[in-house]
Amino acid sequence: MKIFLAQQNYHIGNFEANVDKILAAIAEAKEQGGDLVVFSELCVCGYPPRDFVEFNDFIEQGMKAIDRIRMAADTIGVLVGCPSRNPKLEGKDLFNSAFLLEGQEIKGIVHKSLLPTYDIFDEYRYFEPAYEWNILNFRGWKIAVTICEDLWNLGDDPQYRICPMDELVKQQPDLMINLSASPFDYIHADERKQTLKRNVLKYDLPVVYCNTTGSQTEIIFDGGSLVMDRFGNIVKEFPYFTESLQAVTFREDGRFADPILISSEEVPERNIFPEKLNSEKNIARIHEAICTGIRDYFGKLGFRNAIVASSGGIDSAVVLALACEVLGSANVHALLMPSQYSTDHSVSDAELLSKNLGNPYEILPIESVYRIFEETLKPVFRDLPVGVAEENLQSRIRGTLVMAASNKTGAILLNTSNKSELATGYGTLYGDMAGGLGVIGDLYKTQVYALARYINRNGEIIPRNILSKAPSAELRPGQKDSDSLPEYDVLDPILYCYIERRLGPDEIIRQGYSATLVHRILKLVNVNEYKRNQFCPIIRISPKAFGVGRRMPIVGKYLS
Strands 244-249 and 2-7 turn out to be antiparallel
CATH number at residue 200: 3.60.110.10
Pairing status of strand 332-336 against strand 361-363 = parallel
- Which pLDDT score, from 0 to 100, does residue 358 have? 98
Q: Cα–Cα distance between 78 and 76 in angstroms, integer?
A: 7
Tell me, yes or no, whether 277 lies in a domain.
no
Q: Do the beta carbons of residue 450 and residue 283 sit within 8 Å?
A: yes
Same domain, 172 and 287: no
Rounded to whole angstroms, how far apart are CA atoms 324 and 330? 8
246 and 314 assigned to the same domain: no
* Alpha carbons 285 and 222: distance in angstroms, whole number: 9
Whether 261 and 311 map to the same domain: the answer is no
Asked if 58 and 202 sit in the same domain, the reply is yes
Would you say residue 97 lies in a domain?
yes
Residue that is last in its domain, among 215, 233, 266: 266
- The reported pLDDT for the residue numbered 507 is 96
Q: What is residue 331's DSSP assignment?
A: G
Q: Are residues 206 and 336 in the same domain?
A: no
Residue 272 belongs to a domain: no
Q: Does a structural domain hold residue 398? A: yes
Asked if 9 and 105 sit in the same domain, the reply is yes
The answer to whether the beta carbons of residues 440 and 451 sit under 8 Å apart is yes
Fill in the DSSP letter of residue 354: H
All residues at 6 or more sequence positions from 379 whose CB lies less than 8 Å from its CB, including other chains:
none
| Partners of 4 in the β-ladder | 37, 247
Distance CA 472, CA 470 (A): 6
Q: Are residues 126 and 181 in the same domain?
A: yes
Q: What is the CATH number of the domain that holds 431?
A: 3.40.50.620
Could you list the residue range(s) of the whole structural domain that residue 431 is in?
Answer: 283-532
Domain's final residue, options 266, 295, 316: 266
- Same domain for 20 and 152, yes or no, is yes
Query: Buried b vs exposed e over 412-436: b needs ≥16 C-beta within 10 Å?
Result: bbbbbbbbbbbbbbbbbbebbbbbb
Cβ atoms of 225 and 7 within 8 Å: the answer is yes
CB 333 within 8 A of CB 362: yes
What residue type is 66 in one-letter code?
Answer: I
Q: How many CA atoms lie within 13 A of 290 on its CB side?
A: 30
Reading the chain (560 residues) residue by residue, the pLDDT tens digits are: 999 999 999 999 999 999 999 999 999 999 999 999 999 999 999 999 999 999 999 999 999 999 999 999 999 999 999 999 999 988 999 999 999 999 999 999 999 999 999 999 999 999 999 999 999 999 999 999 999 999 998 877 666 678 999 999 999 999 999 999 999 999 999 999 999 999 999 999 999 999 999 999 999 999 999 999 999 999 999 999 999 999 999 999 999 999 999 999 999 877 778 999 999 999 999 999 999 999 999 999 999 999 999 999 999 999 999 999 999 999 999 999 999 888 878 899 999 999 999 999 999 999 999 999 999 999 999 989 999 999 999 999 999 999 999 999 999 999 999 999 999 999 999 999 999 999 999 999 999 999 999 999 999 999 999 999 988 766 667 777 777 789 999 999 999 999 999 999 999 999 999 999 999 999 999 999 999 999 999 999 999 999 999 999 998 877 65
On whether the CB atoms of residues 40 and 179 are closer than 8 A, the answer is yes
Same domain, yes or no: 168 and 246: yes
Nearest-angstrom CA–CA distance, 401 and 76? 57
556, exposed or middle or buried, with CB in 10 Å at 0-12, 13-18, 19+?
A: exposed
Cis preceding-peptide flag for 48 (omega within 30 of 0): yes
Contact 429, 534 (CB under 8 A): yes
Q: Are residues 150 and 261 in the same domain?
A: yes
Q: Is the pTM of this model over 0.75?
A: yes
Q: In angstroms, what CA-CA distances link 500 with 90, 222, 268, 492, 521?
A: 37, 20, 22, 11, 15
Please count the structural domains in the chain: 2
Dist CA 263 CA 265 (whole Å): 5
Q: Which of 232, 266, 300 is the last residue of a domain?
A: 266
- Residue 109 domain flag: yes
- Beta-bridge partner residues of 442: none
Cα 399 to Cα 419: distance, rounded to the nearest angstrom = 19
Q: Which helix (H) or strand (E) holds 273?
A: none
Sign of CA dihedral 536, 541, 546, 547: positive
Helix (H, G, I), strand (E, B) or coil at 355: helix
Q: Residue type for 165, please?
A: M
Please check whether residue 400 lies inside any domain of the structure. yes
Per DSSP, the chain holds a count of helices (H) and strands (E) of 17, 19
- Catalytic residue ranges: 41, 112, 148
Whether residue 295 is found in the same domain as residue 257: no
Tell me if 491 is assigned to some domain.
yes
- For residue 100, being part of any structural domain is answered with yes
Is 359 in the same domain as 492? yes
